[in-house]
């Protein structure tokens, strides 16, 4: 049996914290999740601009958590290649999100990559 990639497990934990924080902002967060949460004022407008038909309040909270992590990784952290970040976000959306989450996350992130000239 294959051992899960520790980076994947770390991302799942961050998404769980971001998801929980969207309901309870007094929740205790890990250091990295705190950094992402503090950048929310920069990240959320990018998501809103890229998916204008989906106001943040209407977005599935898991999809929003996945997008916040991926946008943070794309624009702030910049440790992983763009394709790795997008592929991982889509896989997370498939396993944690709804039926259309993967396509939605892929579309939003693809647009951000084009608009921000990240390729």
Domain assignment present for 48: yes
Count of domains in the chain? 1
Which segment of 3-17, 54-68, 92-106 scores lowest on mean pLDDT? 3-17
Non-local (6+) Cβ contacts of 39 within 8 A are 72, 76
Domain assignment present for 79: yes
Q: What is the pLDDT of residue 3?
A: 62
Which spans in the chain are helix H?
A: 6-21, 31-38, 40-50, 61-72, 82-96, 101-115
Domain assignment present for 63: yes
- Give me the percent of the chain exceeding a pLDDT of 90: 82
CATH number at 71 reads: 1.10.940.10
Domain assignment present for 1: no
Q: What is the mean pLDDT of the chain?
A: 93
Domain assignment present for 39: yes
Task: Judge contact between 56 and 47, C-beta under 8 A.
Answer: yes
Task: Judge contact between 87 and 7, C-beta under 8 A.
Answer: no
Range of the domain at 108: 6-22+29-115
- Mean pLDDT, residues 80-88: 95
């Amino acid at each position: 049996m294959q051992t899960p990639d520790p980076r994947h497990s770390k991302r799942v934990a961050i998404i769980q914290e971001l998801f929980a924080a969207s309901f309870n902002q007094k929740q205790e967060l890990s250091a990295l999740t705190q950094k992402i949460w503090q950048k929310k004022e920069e990240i959320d407008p990018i998501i809103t601009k890229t998916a204008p038909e989906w106001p943040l309040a209407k977005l599935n909270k898991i999809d929003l958590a996945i997008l916040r992590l991926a946008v943070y990784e794309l624009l702030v952290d910049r440790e992983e290649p763009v394709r790795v970040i997008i592929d991982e976000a889509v896989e997370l959306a498939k396993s944690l999100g709804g039926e259309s989450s993967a396509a939605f996350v892929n579309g939003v992130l693809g647009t951000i990559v084009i608009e921000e000239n990240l390729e």
